[in-house]
Chain A
Amino acid sequence: MKELRIVGQRELRTDALAKATGRARYTADMKQPGMLIGKALFAAYPHALIKKIDVSEALLLPGVATVMTARDLPGRNGYGVMIQDKPVIVEDKTHYSGDAVALVAAVSEEIAREALKRVKVDYDPLPAYDDPREAMKEGAIPIHANHPVAENGNILVTLNLDRGDVDKAFAEADIIIENDYETPMVEHCYLEPDACIAEPDPLTGGLTIISPAQAIYANRRSLAGVFGIPQNRLRVVSPLVGGGFGGKEDSCLDVSAMAGVLALRCDRPVYLELTREEVFRVTGKRHATYIKHRMAATKEGKILAVDVRTILNKGAYVSMGGMKEPLHAVTMRTLVYAAGTYHVPHARARSYSVFTNTPYSCAFRGFGVPQATFAVECQIEELARRVGADSLSIRRLNMLRHNDLTITGQVMLESRGLGLGQCIDKVAERFDWDRPLPQPPGPIKKGRGFAVYMYGSGIPLLFEGANCFAHLQLDGTLSLGVSTTEMGQGFLTVAAQVAAETLGIRVADVLVEFSDTAKTPDSGPTVGSRSAVMVGNAIFDACSKLRERMLTVASRYLFSKTDPRDLAIQDGVVSVIGKPEVTQPLAVVAARAYAAQVSLAVVGSWYPPQASFSALDGQGNPCHAYAFGAQAVEVDVDTETGVITVNRSVHACDVGKALNPLNVEGQMEGGAAQGLGWAVMEENIMEGGILRNAAFHNYMIPTIRDVPDLESIIVECPNELGPYGAKGVGEPALIGMAPAIRNALYDALGFAINTIPLTARQVLQSIREHEQRR
């Protein structure tokens, strides 16, 4: 393979300067004077029948342009990433406290707020469910009277995975480990609150929606029906996004639906922005899970079988995916990853996704894999203790190797990159894992913990594949068009690097147009750690085609029929390989091609091998390639206050190929820090569907002082199908932290806590209870 000059470099982010100087524009910066201000009246009761809504007083207020209830909607009263089960405005029943009951548009925010106060709603409150285990019980009140896809009552879907003979394996096992684990619902806490500008377009008779969004084409598909217009007349634009983490796949629908119907009704542009409290109240969360994990093993520590039951809190609406067809994305992953990174011949898993009256659960960095992996990595720790072996040797003994089958029956292939062993070795070495950790005297106890993970690139069976536009300009610069979102992950830079490397131009000569349905084809959503791989490949495809065309033209017209294979393009200059003195600028070649009627515009596409997954037995090949990782931490536990301090973190991730190591390290550090928050401090205090800590002063996320220096090690085991060998890194980086911290706590205290977050209160209480038991 030819030597890489741009891919693999620590290229500075192309958007860094504009962002660091505060000059980059986000949606809120595009608000214009004269736009109406939209606001919603949200449900006073998370679960209630609506008997009557009276908006007459609100309509009388001067400055109010419209007040809308469900009766005033222009199209379908339902949307969702795939299943249209979330009403724009609820009609006769509320399902959570973020349901809009009425919408208002007014000339100012003050007037809009005042108008909402004048809307009178009569409710008949019902008991609200916070806990899916309660909501799935026989006799529970159905949250949705007529849900379009729900399986049975409040159970949205049950997914099964069955492989081998689990009961026999358990009967023959030397060791059986059975534990219950709980992981919390948490908030994405992106910096930029959700906002939308909706503007009717007199030329097309359609509508333009400007909103920070992770999936503009999914928005178009979901919302066109809500607005009662054809899909091609709904233009969706996502400016730069101030963080998404999966949340802005759904939350953009919430604000866009509301702003859009108001704009259409008033035939004027409307600006609608959620306050931070409303972001907490209305938008999606990470699924809380309750996992019973059973593991059977030989006395040497070889895993024979797993038997796992997972209950997920779905919250009020479906969000990503549906049930069986299309698959529910997060629920599905709790099956696929029920045995973690290990080769386990017999497996049974049941996952139940259950409606409650909490905010809907949606995609959140890792899509259910962090939850499933938390349980497995705690179990493996327990197994090592039972066997009396170091947990790393048990992990190595069981890890998936070339030609092993996963519990979904997928064959693991070295050629797609299997770097787990390397990750474990490198972390162990850097961390000095074998060195004993002396306990200091006094109340502070020290502990070390380890965890490994794997994560498939992409979101199989929902939206795979990617397209892009590539258009070479006559001055030798390149315009790319992708629907991918730039939300801080650095995709614009990596896209430019892949294009520049492939075509042979400089990064500075690539301009990436992004996330605007009027300018870019569907590259798929910016989720599932898919963009560098899938869209990267589409860009590779487009630029390879352009390169070939340019070389053919150069050969024919400018290099006296030198075989194109003997020509090279580098830094925007075409030359004969081995004769650097014979050159032509790419601009000259492009101009020649233009004159010779050779097209300079290309659509690049890439689709992975067809994914498969059966909702009946959980068998199939869900992802074409998997990233792997290992995470070690050292913690201090204050046994008198319960406070945990993470002192050290060493993290290795096999990303196939680090297209931009700076970006990869950024993702690894950000993921680890976000994972730390999930593990030790983030909690939604939910009481009967009402979130009691809906603000940043009482919803805690880590500050820089809560996070140790995060050491990142990049491992590169190339994926033969990835662009230059890449696999996805965005989400995997979060997964290892929570189990590693929990295992370190176990090491420090000598007993295990299986529920996160490990807040000081929870830890101190566990210590007290443990002392009492002894």
Chain B
Amino acid sequence: MTAQTFYNPGTISEILDLLDEYKEEAVIVNGGTDIVEQIGSGRIRPKAILYIRNAGELDYIREENGAVLIGGITSYRSMLESPLCRQFGGLRQALTEIGSPPIRVVATPAGNIGTSASGADCNTALLALGASVVLSSKTGERILTLEDLFSNPGKTGLHRNELIRQIRIPINKAARSSFIKLAKRKAQDIAQVSACVCVEAEGGICQKVTVSLGAVAPRTIRAKSLEEKIVHRTLAEAVAAVKGIIPAEASLRNPKNRPYKEAVIGVIVGRALKQAYADGVGRT
């Protein structure tokens, strides 16, 4: 460890004070499953470490105003145990694919957003579900959709003095979602390609859809070009339409894995769609 000071703030306001005091030079440690390796290896050398896991007021999952609210230190395991979170099929599937049981005890969706890795599983699910984040700092608060946060990190991204205080997932009873991750092995692995779809359908025809993709661009992306091929179509038509398609939003640079990823994106999206339909979308 190379940081000079370790803080263990117990409240949100203490966290915000410290973030303000250290400006760019503090780093938040939540579950630590991404960041501790960075600190330990010396790749980042923060002046202060803010270990926020003892700020109990950030640990909750509750429903309010048609949305499920998740606190800034809530773990994946708490989410998996929560019926509120389990109602989102795609999220539930994504959570069970993250790391391993010990990792899920400590790791958090806030950390997944904080890192915004290319193949982040929870981010992929949350993006398709239309989630947003509440970002707090000493000077105020802003609410951003994950789509905005990820699509333009330079402008709308997380600032170093901001705390991810809350994640909000809108509840949509008419929608079904599904997540599929393709990795090199069946656990403890980062996605080769992952997809989450969230569909509303009527009479077998898709009325509304969001498609998010992981591991095909520097951050999780929303693939509107695929959504256009799915909406207003039947399941079978949609699956056929996305097969073999490389969405315009993808940006694959590594020539080693590019052909493989390109070959499977459409397959994975098609399968996620089938799963969402099988889960009951459009049955009413």
Query: Residues of A with Cβ closer than 8 Å to B?
Result: 640-643, 645, 681, 697, 700, 702-706, 759-761, 764-765, 768
Contact = CB atoms under 8 A, between A and B. Distances in A.
B36 interface: no
B264 A703 contact: no
Interface string B155-193: 000000000000000000000000000101111111010
A686 to B, nearest CB: 13
B267 interface: yes
Given A640-B267, A641-B267, A700 B260 contact: no
Contact of B182 (A643, A700, A705, A768): A643
6 contacts: A641-B267, A681-B185, A697-B190, A700-B185, A703-B187, A706-B185
Given A640-B264, A641-B264, A703 B184 contact: no
Contacts of B264: 640-641, 764
Given A641-B182, A641-B264, A703 B188 contact: yes
A761 B257 contact: yes
Contact of B260 (A681, A703, A705, A760): A760
B105 interface: no
Contacts of B100: 703
Given A640-B267, A704-B187, A764-B264, 19 more contacts: A640-B264, A641-B267, A641-B268, A645-B186, A700-B184, A700-B185, A700-B189, A702-B185, A703-B100, A703-B185, A703-B186, A703-B188, A705-B185, A759-B184, A760-B184, A761-B260, A764-B260, A764-B263, A765-B259
A43 to B, nearest CB: 21
Contacts of A697: 190
Q: Which of A640, A642, A765, A768 has the most CB of B within 10 A?
A: A640
A30 B260 CA distance: 47
Contact of B184 (A640, A681, A704): A681
Interface in B251-275: 257, 259-260, 263-264, 267-268
A765 B262 CA distance: 12
Contacts of A761: 257, 260
A703 B153 CA distance: 35
Nearest to A767: B263
A32 B46 CA distance: 30
A756 to B, nearest CB: 15
Interface residues of B, number: 17
A768 B184 CA distance: 19
B53 to A, nearest CB: 23
A706 B187 contact: yes
Contacts of A759: 184
A700 B264 CA distance: 20
Contacts of A643: 182
Interface string B185-203: 1111110100000000000
Contacts of B259: 765
B236 to A, nearest CB: 14
A156 B277 CA distance: 61
Nearest first, the 6 A-B pairs at minimum CB distance are A705-B186, A705-B187, A703-B187, A761-B260, A640-B267, A700-B184
B261 to A, nearest CB: 9
A642 B188 CA distance: 19
A165 to B, nearest CB: 47
B56 to A, nearest CB: 30
A308 B268 CA distance: 43
B235 to A, nearest CB: 15
Nearest to B261: A761
Interface string B204-248: 000000000000000000000000000000000000000000000
Contacts of A764: 260, 263-264
Nearest to B180: A641
A624 to B, nearest CB: 40
A641 B186 CA distance: 14
Interface string B18-30: 0000000000000
A764 to B, nearest CB: 6
B188 to A, nearest CB: 5
A116 to B, nearest CB: 13
A705 B187 CA distance: 6
Contacts of B192: 760
Nearest to B263: A764
Nearest to A759: B184
Interface in B56-87: none
Q: Which of B187, B190, B268 has the most CB of A within 10 A?
A: B187
A281 to B, nearest CB: 15
Nearest to A683: B184
A765 B100 CA distance: 30
B240 to A, nearest CB: 13
Nearest to B266: A640
Nearest to B37: A697
A346 B188 CA distance: 48
Contacts of A642: 260
A184 B100 CA distance: 28
Nearest to B188: A703
A700 B192 CA distance: 13
Nearest to B259: A765
Contacts of A768: 263
Given A640-B267, A641-B267, A706 B186 contact: yes
Nearest to B257: A761
Q: Which of A641, A706, A764 has the most CB of B within 10 A?
A: A641
